[in-house]
Amino acid sequence: MSIEELVKVENLRKYFPFKKRIFSKKVRYIKAVDGVSLSIKKGETLALVGETGSGKTTTGRTILRLYEPTGGKIYFGGQDITKMPKKKFQKIRMQMQMIYQDPYSSLNPRMSILNIIAEPLRELMVKNIEDRVLELLESVGLRREHMYKYPDEISGGQQQRVAIARALAVNPKFIVLDEPTSALDVSVQAQILNLLENLQKEKNFTYLFISHDLSVVRYISHRVAIMYLGKIMEIGMVEQIFEKSQHPYTRILLESIPVPDPKDRKRKKLRLPGEIPSPLNPPSGCPFHTRCPYAKDICSQKEPGYVEVESGHLVKCHFAEMIE
């Protein structure tokens, strides 16, 4: 593991057992995350992008061990934390936080903002808690008056700022951001993204940014990983993904980004037929072949390996570099 890498996962898998009937003995598995390998450098934002059901959120939760992995390895700061005993892992876990899509559901409606942010501070036995809470609120653009309010008395954007302040209370190194702006108005989205970017510059935070919105991803990310049916299909620097994408799935996602003038589109428009297959019964071979406009016989027969088309730009496709 490189000194620069803060987070690294190797062949990460998370399967959920599933029974069609309650008393059935036959157990099948939902392969939510199926062989994901990636790394995130200190101070970097890696975006994880894909449709609903692609396994993005499960990947983030499994890296934090909110879900215990079925297989593979998770490293944090050079340490293998995959099966680390919970007591030992607890100290490391404080350095890893998650900010959720819906800020209101992640905040206790019966607690004041002061007590919500103070909760982790009390566990750390911090002195002068009110002063520290005020400092955290100001760092996310809120004021003293917000301290004594309750979540339902503030706006959605302010709720997300409170959620960010709570995550910052334990001085984390790594933050998983699960669609942190998707529940907010467009104008508020920009404010939260600017806040996250500024905090990263000030504190050197490392982000895993989970999203389906590629326009947001292009703004905030350094690197992008495209996920489909539990697997990473393409990964590279933000410029490589947006300007030189090679996987058909990536190209189709890029085509879905609204543009002011449709005549400005440079690529032939691709359409995505059907829906994402069930992770309970994934297709053989390449998981994308059932919807791919370029699929050949080999795609249903054999799962492709990764092709490095440029330094750090990996594509999981039999026909990488051949698709126009």
Instruction: Report the distance separating Cα 40 and Cα 56, nearest Å.
Output: 15
Amino acid identity, position 223: R
Report the distance separating Cα 159 and Cα 82, nearest Å. Answer: 32
**Tokens matching residue 111:** 């607690």
- What DSSP line would sit under 243-301, residue for residue? HH--SHHHHHHHHTS--S-GGG--SPP----S-PPPTTSPPSSSTTTTT-TT--HHHHH
Residue 260, pLDDT score: 57
pTM for this one? Answer: 0.91
Strands laid side by side in the 28-41 sheet: 28-41, 5-18, 71-76, 79-80
314 DSSP β-pair partners: 235, 308
Query: Are 45 and 221 a contacting pair, CB within 8 Å?
Result: yes
Pick the CATH number of 5-95+172-316 from 3.20.20.70, 3.40.50.300, 3.90.1150.10, 3.30.70.270: 3.40.50.300
* Cα-only R_g, the chain: 21
Q: Kindly write down the DSSP assignment for every residue of 167-235, as one continuous string.
A: HHTT--SEEEEESTTTTS-HHHHHHHHHHHHHHHHHH--EEEEEES-HHHHHHH-SEEEEEETTEEEEE
Alpha carbon distance 290, 276 (integer Å): 9
* Nearest to 198, CA basis, from 147, 138, 241, 240: 138
Greatest alpha-carbon pair distance for the chain in Å reads 66
Give bridge partners of residue 46 from the DSSP assignment: 208, 223
Angstrom distances, CA of residue 170 to CA of 34, 102, 132, 133, 178: 31, 21, 11, 11, 19
Integer CA distances (angstroms), 298 to 293, 315, 318, in order: 14, 16, 8
In the numeric block, the tokens 């899509």 are attached to 101
Per-residue model confidence as pLDDT tens for the chain (324 residues): 666 899 999 999 999 998 777 777 788 999 999 999 999 999 999 999 999 999 999 999 999 999 999 999 999 999 999 999 999 999 899 999 999 988 888 899 999 999 999 999 988 888 899 999 999 999 999 999 999 999 999 999 999 999 999 999 999 999 999 999 988 888 899 999 999 999 999 999 999 999 999 989 999 999 999 999 999 999 999 999 999 999 999 999 998 776 655 555 454 555 677 788 888 889 999 999 999 999 999 999 999 999 999 999 999 999 987 665
In whole angstroms, give the CA distance from residue 38 to residue 223. 11
Q: Where are the domains of the chain?
A: 5-95+172-316
Q: Residue 238: helix, strand or coil by DSSP? A: helix
Contact 6, 76 (CB under 8 A): yes
- Per DSSP, the three-state class of 87 is helix
Q: Give the whole-angstrom CA distance, residue 173 versus residue 227.
A: 24
User: Residue 323: its pLDDT value, please?
Assistant: 61
